[in-house]
Amino acid sequence: MTVTGRVKAMSPESMSGRRRWAALVVMLLAVFMELLDGSIVNVAMPHIRRGLGMSDSATQWVAVGYVLAHAVLIVTGGRLGDLVGRRRVFLAGVVGFTAASACCGLAWAPWVLVGARLGQGASAAAMVPQVLALLQELFPAERRGRPFAVFSAVSGVATVAGPLVGAVLLDGDPLGLGWRAIFWINVPVGVAVVGAAVVLLPRSPGASTGLDIGGVVVATSALLLLLHPLTVGRDLHWPLWTFVAMAASLPVGALFVRLQRRIRRRGGVPLVALDLFGERTFAVGLVLAFVLHASFSGPFFVLSIFLQSGLGFTPRATALAILPWTVGVPLGATAASAALVPRFGRWTLTAGAVLMTGGFAGLAALVAGLGPALRPWHGLAVFGFAGVGMGLVVAPLLQFALSRVPVVDAGSAAGVFASTQQVGAATGIAAVGTLFFAVADGAPTPAAMAATAATAAVLTTAVGAMTPLLPRTPEPARA
């Protein structure tokens, strides 16, 4: 009885509304730090390469290592929170990410930086799923719209704000640390998050069972076989082994499903609750998340290359060109939460997809029409439309997809959802990147950028066409 009393006293139900929002702010600060770090490194890569005298292979692994470690371990990180306790795993992830960031800032050789980036990715895989799971614990189903919108807005802003923050740190060098500043800036933020999280986050008891180690091994293998070729294949000109590995991920994935079903039949707790896929809302949400992230991740990957290498933009000019996107995402997410989803339901996502389609189609026409005469201010409208549209889609999509997930499986569902986003982003970057460089034929031309923007418009059209498969409004969570 004593233990039960302590857990109840620190449960989300006993927290005031103000404390719940304070806890959410702390978690979102961690998410912002993680997402910003993922995109800011791409801007700093030339400086890092010169500073450490890195080879092509080492340079690639500074970016690839983080993405792979994050993507292949995020499902495990999500379920680990269900079993061990989400607060505990979140704190471990933030501490690990902060320590790995310090190692990146201290790196004296390429191999040290690559290893530290792997550590950052693994720590992020433990940290990020707990945020979505704890959000579901902290807020009842009928009050999750605004928290989900804030989460989506912060995620969208952090993803596209990386180039702008990177430009400020690299061009101005206010700390006198050069490229190392992009990693050292995480350390005080991480320390602050840990201190606040210890005080604010609820103690959620874990399950009385161990982690499905066999499932971890098989799931990690399947994701690695799929994501590693997608991540490095384009730079290697798609050798035969990349296609063999991606094909091999299918039977390994089928083996994982079989193992999970066996564990469930025996009364155990599998790594992934396969019952989740029986919920139509969750399954449709996964498909939409995959296509959506494929639609914008690829164009953003090549856009920076086109503007800087093709048109001669500075990093700061590149960041200013896409600033309307950064501003539009939170505006769209706020509008979706405050007024549109309660009134129009799933049609909010349809409208957002239409705006994204218009934005990407406008970008294709703008680049094709102006070519080398393109300037940073020319894309204000198209990036603004695309940003608002993204906010209208991403925020409600999270709310719809996770609305019927039982809290006991929230970590597993968050891990699967985040992994789907990662696979979608990697697929988009691989496919769009291949298209871009094939059309460019050695030079980042306007024709290549126009082709990739048009492809993104097709994908966002598909997103809009699939939104009627969702229920009219986010459904309440099951008991």
DSSP 163-177: HHHHHIIIII-TTS-
Give the tens place of pLDDT for each residue, 135-165: 888 887 777 777 877 887 787 777 767 767 7
Residues in the chain, overall count: 479
Q: What is the mean pLDDT of residues 3-28?
A: 68
Q: State the number of CA atoms in the 13 A half-sphere of 264 facing the CB.
A: 13
Q: What average pLDDT does this structure show over 249-267?
A: 88
Nearest to 226 by CA among 2, 47, 45, 424: 424
For 196, residues 6+ apart whose C-beta sits below 8 A from its C-beta are: 22, 26
**Looking at the predicted structure, is the pLDDT value of residue 176 above 90?**
no
Token pair for 221: 């293998």
**Contact call for residues 136 and 24 (beta carbons, < 8 A):** no
Using one digit for the tens of pLDDT, what is the confidence trace for 268-327?
A: 778 888 888 888 888 999 999 999 999 988 888 788 778 877 788 777 777 778 888 878
- The answer to whether the beta carbons of residues 422 and 90 sit under 8 Å apart is no
CA gap 137, 407 in Å, rounded: 7
CA–CA gap between residue 223 and residue 376 (Å, rounded): 38
Residue 11: per-residue pLDDT: 62
Q: How confident is the model at residue 442 (pLDDT cuts 50, 70, 90)?
A: low
Q: What are the helix and strand counts (H, E) for the chain?
A: 18, 0
The pLDDT score that the predictor gives to residue 205 is 67
- The pLDDT of residue 36 is above 50: yes
Sign of CA dihedral 191, 195, 197, 202: positive
Mean pLDDT in the chain? 83
Confidence of residue 6 (pLDDT cuts 50, 70, 90): very low
Residues 104-131: what's their mean pLDDT? 91
Residue 2 predicted with pLDDT over 50: no
Q: How confident is the model at residue 120 (pLDDT cuts 50, 70, 90)?
A: very high
% of the chain with per-residue pLDDT over 90? 24
d(CA 150, CA 337): 9
Q: Please say if the pLDDT value at position 8 is more than 60.
A: no
Torsion of CA 354, 476, 147, 335, to 10 degrees: 30
What pLDDT is stored for residue 307 in this prediction? 81
Amino acid letter for position 303: L
**224 CB-near residues (< 8 Å, 6+ apart):** 68, 72
Integer Cα distance of 320 and 325 in angstroms: 10
Tell me, what's the pLDDT at 188?
93
Contact assessment for residue 7 and residue 205, using Cβ atoms and an 8 Å cutoff:
yes
For the record, the structure tokens of 15 come out as 């927290």
Which token pair is 196? 């606040």
